[in-house]
Homo-oligomer: A and B are copies of this chain.
């Protein structure tokens, strides 16, 4: 039964992120299991908001809170979900008006590293 939720979450997780990220989450034991089941099995599978929009919200929330450990993972997921580097730059600038410039500066430098200097 819970195995179904886990499998659904695991499949969704791999669509959003990748195998390497799944390995890191599964390495966290029961917390990892709860994240896969709840965040990816329950929330990310809900209709009514695209993965692109979910990632847009995730990036804005992570930048606002300064959660630097998870920002690279969700910037990559955002690109995979169809947000362009330019859209992500605008999301970070928009978040700067809500949360201040310092966390936006860090996030912009991280995005620059991810998309490469050529593109940035």
Contact = CB atoms under 8 A, between A and B. Distances in A.
A53 B82 CA distance: 13
Given A87-B49, A105-B70, A108-B28, A34 B93 contact: yes
A103 to B, nearest CB: 7
Say which size band chain A's interface belongs to. 35 or more
A99 B97 contact: no
A101 B53 contact: no
Given A28-B108, A105-B35, A108-B28, A62 B98 contact: yes
A57 B56 CA distance: 7
Interface of A: 1, 4, 25, 27-32, 34-35, 37-39, 42-43, 46, 48-49, 53-54, 56-67, 69-70, 86-87, 89-106, 108-109, 112, 120
